Amino acid sequence: MILGTFLSKDRQFAGIVKGETIFATAYTDVQELIKAGKKADLNSVGEYHFSELELLSPIPNPDRDIICLGINYAAHAVESARFENKAFGGERPCPIYFSKRVDTAVPHNGIVDGHFDIVDSLDYEAELAVIIGKTAKNVKPENAFDYVFGYTILNDISARNLQTAHKQWYLGKSLDAFTPIGPYIVTTDEFSNPPALAIKSYVNGELRQNSCTDKLIFDIPYIIADLSRGMTLQPGTIISTGTPDGVGMGFVPPRFLQKGDEVICEIDGIGKLRNIIG
Ligand code: MG
């Protein structure tokens, strides 16, 4: 099932996407639908054509900061180390977790504010984001997918100068409009476990990232088991699993984003998340 959040003339709602037809539900966004424990048996309370609606991010206002994985693809670990003039040791005993604040998630076709008054090295990171569907505590890896509602695409926009100036990445990842999420959330029944999906990004039509979500160093069962051992994950929690190689800082010299650039992040089975740098 493909779920999105839409705005019509008179209201905002979570809708089921079937081609060009959108079936409205009684929930104001997909996060509310997830928190209500809904996946099947969703009643439609109205029917629209896609062209009548404005598409919002499926979770426009996440309840909590997004949990992100850092350096979770081996080839990206190598390019990140090179950017910081360090050697990559190759061993990673534990995942790197960090947090990304999102006030309002930017939708498909939305503008990403580059904050160029304080940012000189704006970068893109195409990522598979996991949406938790039910309260997860002490989950065993073999049961982890029971707790996943679905998947979406997240562009972990990053200000490299702020990310490296501060000891922690929080500020450099959390400026307003730094988190495009969408276009939709696709439920797990549409995918195999674990999902092995082509993941790509394009800047102004040029392919930059080209990998597969089966190359995660720490996979989805590991992440959910590891986090939920001592930390309760509530329904609607967003976990962004990290980005593959090919980000702007990975090039020599680096190729950072400029005002007016078009960035498209694409994951097979979920779609394309297109944004313009403003
Ligand atoms: Mg990232």
**Quick one: pLDDT at residue 89?**
66
Greatest pairwise CA separation for the chain in angstroms = 56
**Quick one: pLDDT at residue 84?**
82
- Structural domain ending residue among the three candidates 30, 56, 82: 56
Question: Within this chain, do residues 189 and 137 fall inside the same structural domain, yes or no?
Answer: yes
Question: Within this chain, do residues 216 and 85 fall inside the same structural domain, yes or no?
Answer: yes
Q: Domain of 49?
A: 2-56
Question: Within this chain, do residues 30 and 117 fall inside the same structural domain, yes or no?
Answer: no
Give CA–CA dist 27/56, Å, rounded: 14
Q: What does the block give as tokens for 179? A: 């988190």
**Domain assignment present for 8:** yes
Residue 170 vs residues 101, 158, 265: alpha-carbon distances, Å: 8, 10, 22
Q: Which residue has the tokens 């990053």?
A: 158
**Stretches in the chain below the pLDDT threshold 70:** 40-41, 88-90
Question: Within this chain, do residues 49 and 129 fall inside the same structural domain, yes or no?
Answer: no
Question: Within this chain, do residues 133 and 253 fall inside the same structural domain, yes or no?
Answer: yes
Question: Within this chain, do residues 187 and 248 fall inside the same structural domain, yes or no?
Answer: yes
- Nearest partner of 171 among 223, 206, 119, judged by Cα: 119
Question: Within this chain, do residues 28 and 109 fall inside the same structural domain, yes or no?
Answer: no
Question: Within this chain, do residues 34 and 82 fall inside the same structural domain, yes or no?
Answer: no
**Quick one: pLDDT at residue 77?**
85
Q: How far is CA 222 from the centre of its chain?
A: 18
Q: Which amino acid is at 22?
A: I
Whole-number Å distance, alpha carbon 25 to ligand 1 midpoint, is 32
Question: Within this chain, do residues 7 and 34 fall inside the same structural domain, yes or no?
Answer: yes
> What is residue 115's three-state secondary structure?
coil
Whole-number Å distance, alpha carbon 16 to ligand 1 midpoint, is 28
Whole-number Å distance, alpha carbon 55 to ligand 1 midpoint, is 24
* CATH number of the domain within which 139 lies: 3.90.850.10
**Domain assignment present for 40:** yes
DSSP 144-212: GGGGEEEEEEEE--EEHHHHHHSSSSHHHH-STT--BEEEEEEEGGGS-SS---EEEEEETTEEEEEEE
**Domain assignment present for 121:** yes
> What is residue 265's three-state secondary structure?
strand
**Domain assignment present for 178:** yes
Within a 10 A sphere around the Cβ of 109, how many other Cβ atoms? 15
Whole-number Å distance, alpha carbon 164 to ligand 1 midpoint, is 14
**Quick one: pLDDT at residue 90?**
65
**Domain assignment present for 141:** yes
pTM: 0.96
| 271-277 and 111-112 strand pairing | parallel
Cβ atoms of 210 and 246 within 8 Å: the answer is yes
**Quick one: pLDDT at residue 93?**
82
Domain count, the chain: 2
214-218 contact pairs (CB < 8 A, 24+): 215/73, 215/74, 215/75, 215/244, 216/69, 216/72, 216/73, 216/241, 216/242, 217/71, 217/72, 217/73, 217/74, 217/77, 217/92, 217/95, 217/242, 218/69, 218/72, 218/95
Whole-number Å distance, alpha carbon 88 to ligand 1 midpoint, is 17
Whole-number Å distance, alpha carbon 21 to ligand 1 midpoint, is 33
Whole-number Å distance, alpha carbon 160 to ligand 1 midpoint, is 11
Cβ atoms of 128 and 243 within 8 Å: the answer is no
**Domain assignment present for 82:** yes
**Quick one: pLDDT at residue 40?**
62
**Quick one: pLDDT at residue 86?**
80
Question: Within this chain, do residues 13 and 39 fall inside the same structural domain, yes or no?
Answer: yes
Whole-number Å distance, alpha carbon 9 to ligand 1 midpoint, is 35
**Quick one: pLDDT at residue 184?**
98
**Quick one: pLDDT at residue 43?**
84
* CATH number of the domain within which 39 lies: 2.30.30
Whole-number Å distance, alpha carbon 216 to ligand 1 midpoint, is 12
Q: How many residues does the chain have?
A: 278
- Nearest partner of 202 among 266, 156, 259, 255, judged by Cα: 266
Signed CA dihedral, 58, 60, 66, 72: sign only: positive
Question: Within this chain, do residues 47 and 126 fall inside the same structural domain, yes or no?
Answer: no
Give CA–CA dist 77/72, Å, rounded: 7
Question: Within this chain, do residues 37 and 84 fall inside the same structural domain, yes or no?
Answer: no
**Domain assignment present for 61:** no
